Amino acid sequence: MSQLSDVDRLLWAKTWRRNRWAPDTPPGALWHSLIAHVWDSGHAGGWLWDHFLSLRVRRLLAADLAEDSESARVRLAWLAALHDLGKATPSFASLDPGRRAELAAAGLTVDLSVRGSLPHSWLSGRLMFDRLCAEGWDGEAAEFVALTLAGHHGVFPRVGWLDEGIRAKRRGTGAWLPAQDAVHRAAVEGSGAELFLERWCRSVPSVPAQLVQAGAVTLADWLASNENLFPYEGRLTDGYMRTSASRVLRAGEVMGVRAAWKPDAECARLGARALYRSRFGIAEPRSVQEAICKVACSVRSPGLLILEAPMGEGKTEGALAAVEVLAARLGANGVFFGLPTQATANQMFGRVVKWLERQGADTTVALAHGKAARQEDYRALLSSAVGVDECTGMIASQWVQGRYRALLAPVVVATVDQLLLAGLASRYVSVRMLGLAGKVVVLDEVHAYDAYMSGLLKRVLEWLGACGVPVVLLSATLPARQRQELLDAYAGRQLALVDDEMYPRLTWADAPGSGRPNSAPQVTAATTDRGLGVQVEMLPEPDVTAVAERAVEMVSEGGSLLVIRNTVDRAQKLAAQLRGVLGEDAVTLMHARYTVADRRRLETRLIERFGPAGTRPVPHVVVATQVVEQSLDVSFDGLISDLCPIDLLFQRIGRMHRHPVADRPRMLAQARVVVTGYQVGVDAPPSVPAGSRTVYGDHLLWRTAAVLLERGVLEMPGAIPELVNRVYGEEGLGPDSWQERLAEAARQDEEDRDRMATLAAQVTLPSPRDVETLADLHKDAAFSGEDDDGTAQVQALVRLGKPSLEVILMREGATAGAAASVSAGEGSVVSLGSLPDPEGVEMVLDQAIRLPGWSQELTDAAGAASFTPEAWRDSAWLGSARVLLLPADGRPLRLGRKRVTYCSQDGLQIV
């Protein structure tokens, strides 16, 4: 190492500041040397290359260097080491009075007028750009380096940033210049970059590779800033570079990531039957399952695979088999499995863990959504997590639970929101893309997205395709236009139209840069032997008793019935009616407006009763909203459904006669769906409740009603693609007397789709085809502050709508200053004047509930009535919790003009 002066050793990068997450005293000294941090960061970058990044990602980062792996590894370490060069400036050094005084005494003058005037990340990029240009680097190559450094806090500078001047006293003159030279030399010598600098000066990675590499640099900085991994040392001492190199070996332990997931290299050679038998205990895989395995075994480069098959065909097992094969053949070392709701993600988490256990996997898994830590299986993994060298098998990581980190676990099961966030022009999008780049991505129920979410998804697919990430999409069926748009987005170009006749079918499109630029999508047919004739009964709902009477009749001989209403209010009212006739124990209500504890209890009971090994109490009616229509493996003897778009109706039908039952009652022996939730119009399309119209719009509801009125029986699965294409197509449907209203509804629907697509375009990253440098990414940033994926503001950007408010819903206690739980079986009381013990914290968090966002008056009033107890403000878990107290005597809580009550049976009721 080159000789360092006393001034060089006093440059600082970190100082200890106590906050509610930090310990009372630092694990080391009160500050950490800048050059020490340079070495820590460079070593962290090298560790990420050696132990964290997949072969697929390493190839992406080395593509511009003729796939020279060693050169690419050193470049990553060098970039990571340099990221804080801007801290060797008066603008940064002046921020801490103690450090400023010591530097001034050593000869580094600081003008206080420049204190914190420019972000050090921005200064890092500017200093490095000027240095590299002076050394003869190509301008584009120098800007790539500069943008990588400037964006290490999650947001890249905008176009033109290099043209902005910097006052000399901000960047440093005189003695500051040799100090900056010393930091640069430390980065070069610590990373080994001196052997490659001349080669890099003309080399520029693709923009997708730059984005992923920027994420790796940020992650290296996070590791280097972790005081448990690199305790503060104070003034730089001799030999610290070796100390840093030894400390980085604990990075996996600190992250809670023992090892990346390693797919079995021989899985593609096992054959479909052996693979399904060993992973899932399936002796005879279905045609769809064999077909997806065959496609995965045949491809040679990344691509997008869309599997469309009827409900109950084992698409989940097929997708996981394809994941393992694709990962092994294409060099991935992780999995992302995205689901539409928290309930479906919770259920899928257990299935994915069992799949990993059958492989003997020894890796870290994460459940990623707003209430993941409340899911029992995942909570058990989190609470039992110890050092990564002290246990084997699956572990969960508290570190991965931190902000922006959810996608960094090797195996992630999540709501689709986590994936869509990677398409927003948001803070730390580079880290999210890094987390996805080494994985195989699976998304279930992709037909269920509205035009806004589809716009976000298509932009994410563009970037995943550009990064060479294999993707598997699952659906019962997709409208032809939606399928084509997804394929085109991933491929980065307009593809040939896909044959729409085959069903079930698998469609494959190559990623850009796969070496087959003009290849058309490949369509593979599969078969199914699960034919099912479903009788359709159209039941207008002229009064409030019609549906209840029909439900009671259907279970009069026993059996189980699922009734799906389109809104919570309609579900609650129907459940109350049915309890009055059938009794309390014969009716279960399920919707999204329960506390965490009650929602968890209801989900578990639903699976225990109506899952594959369910006890099936009879007679029994489950009244639910859309929370049960997707991905949940439950089965009922009969179905009543509010009118909904045809593809979603098929999803609901998929919850009926899903599992074999020997003793179905005569009335329910034949699969039957009763479609209700409408009133017959007079020479006009049916009228539907306002809630159904708000959720789905008139256009698809009316076209669905038109095709259902023609059919007495749906022959499954053939009816699925036929009717979906008719409803989502352009042919005229329904009686002549409907046509004027239908035409107006179609125009309104198209306007709504265009509006949502426009709104999506306003918050997404630009297309990779339109990006010249990383400076283009955040020019129209949706948000770039400290908001993360857990905030209502961010969630509202992912799922278009007004931000909702989450509260801790409790009841006033019998004594002043106390609050009682509202969830079933709790009966617990905590003091609002003191911090609860760990058990009390768990109970409080279990009372969380998200208020609906459709009433701004309700949200505003609840925000004004809720509060954070003063004694809780320093708690990492409860410091931001807002408590909303219901009256102790059970009376409704008045919020504006609304009255709110809660019981564990009905959930939150708003009148």
Residue 875, φ and ψ in degrees, nearest 5: -85, 130
Q: Is 444 helix (H, G, I), strand (E, B) or coil?
A: coil
Output the pTM of the full model.
Answer: 0.91
Q: pLDDT tens digits for 251-295?
A: 999 999 878 999 999 998 889 999 999 999 999 999 999 999 999
Q: Is 82 helix (H, G, I), strand (E, B) or coil?
A: helix
Q: For residues 180-206, give the mean pLDDT.
A: 96
Domains of the chain (ranges plus CATH)? 6-255 (1.10.3210.30), 267-525 (3.40.50.300), 532-734 (3.40.50.300), 802-910 (no CATH)
Q: pLDDT tens digits for 697-737?
A: 999 999 999 999 998 899 998 899 999 999 999 899 999 99
Alpha carbon 786 to chain centroid, angstroms: 18
Tokens found for residue 212: 């992923």
Q: Does position 386 have pLDDT exceeding 50, yes or no?
A: no
**Tokens 């006033």, located at residue:** 812
Q: pLDDT tens digits for 492-550?
A: 999 988 777 789 999 999 999 876 666 789 999 999 877 889 999 999 998 889 999 99
Residue 212 has a CB neighbour count (10 Å cut-off) of: 26
> Is the CB of residue 39 less than 8 Å from the CB of residue 46?
no
Q: pLDDT tens digits for 678-695?
A: 999 888 999 999 999 999
Indicate the pLDDT class of residue 387, thresholds 50, 70 and 90.
very low
Show Cβ contacts of residue 92 under 8 Å, excluding neighbours closer than 6 positions. Answer: 86, 116, 120, 123
Indicate the pLDDT class of residue 632, thresholds 50, 70 and 90.
confident
Measured CA to CA, the distance from residue 321 to residue 315 in angstroms comes to 10
Cis amide prior to 617 (ω within 30 degrees): no
Q: pLDDT tens digits for 329-370?
A: 999 999 999 998 888 898 899 999 999 999 999 999 999 988
Q: For residues 475-488, give the mean pLDDT.
A: 92
Give 3-state DSSP helix, strand, coil % of the chain, rounded to 5: 45, 15, 40
> Is the CB of residue 63 less than 8 Å from the CB of residue 20?
no
Q: pLDDT tens digits for 752-776?
A: 999 999 999 988 999 999 999 999 9
Alpha carbon 867 to chain centroid, angstroms: 29
Residue 529, φ and ψ in degrees, nearest 5: -105, 15
Inter-CA distances, 172 with 13, 92, 123, 175, 176, Å: 16, 10, 11, 8, 5
Pairing type for strands 883-886 and 31-33 reads: unpaired
Q: Does position 787 have pLDDT exceeding 80, yes or no?
A: no
Tokens found for residue 624: 């639910």
Indicate the pLDDT class of residue 297, thresholds 50, 70 and 90.
very high
Cis amide prior to 619 (ω within 30 degrees): yes
Indicate the pLDDT class of residue 23, thresholds 50, 70 and 90.
low
More confident residue, 699 or 100: 699
Alpha carbon 316 to chain centroid, angstroms: 18
Inter-CA distances, 454 with 415, 450, 461, 688, Å: 15, 6, 10, 25
Alpha carbon 705 to chain centroid, angstroms: 34
Instruction: Give long-range contacts, CB 8 A cutoff, 24+ apart: 645-648.
Output: 645/696, 645/700, 645/701, 645/704, 645/727, 646/700, 646/703, 646/704, 646/707, 646/708, 646/723, 646/724, 646/727, 647/447, 647/476, 647/477, 647/479, 647/724, 647/727, 647/728, 648/447, 648/448
State the sign of the Cα–Cα–Cα–Cα dihedral 362, 367, 372, 375: negative
Indicate the pLDDT class of residue 794, thresholds 50, 70 and 90.
low
Picking from 441, 484, 443, 491, the residue whose alpha carbon sits closest to that of residue 466 is 491
Sheet with strand 439-443: strands edge to edge? 365-368, 411-415, 334-339, 439-443, 471-475, 303-308, 505-510, 522-525
Residue 474, φ and ψ in degrees, nearest 5: -120, 140
Measured CA to CA, the distance from residue 435 to residue 433 in angstroms comes to 5
**Mind spelling out the 3-state secondary structure of 352-388?**
HHHHHHHHCCCCEEEEECCCHHHCHHHHHHHHHCCCC
Tokens found for residue 351: 């299935």
**Tokens 């707003």, located at residue:** 370
Residues in the chain: 911
Percent of the chain residues past pLDDT 70, beyond the cut: 95
Q: For residues 636-640, give the mean pLDDT.
A: 97
First to last CA, the chain: 73
> Is the CB of residue 848 less than 8 Å from the CB of residue 807?
yes
> Quick one: pLDDT at residue 390?
44
Picking from 139, 108, 251, 152, the residue whose alpha carbon sits closest to that of residue 202 is 139
> Quick one: pLDDT at residue 858?
92
Q: Residue-wise over 485-502: b if at least 16 C-beta within 10 A, else e?
A: bbbbbbbbeebeebeeeb
> Quick one: pLDDT at residue 626?
92
Bridge partners (DSSP) of residue 376 are: none
Q: Is 696 helix (H, G, I), strand (E, B) or coil?
A: helix
CA torsion, points 460, 461, 462, 463, in degrees to nearest 10? 60
Tokens found for residue 507: 């469609």
Measured CA to CA, the distance from residue 163 to residue 160 in angstroms comes to 5
Measured CA to CA, the distance from residue 430 to residue 569 in angstroms comes to 41
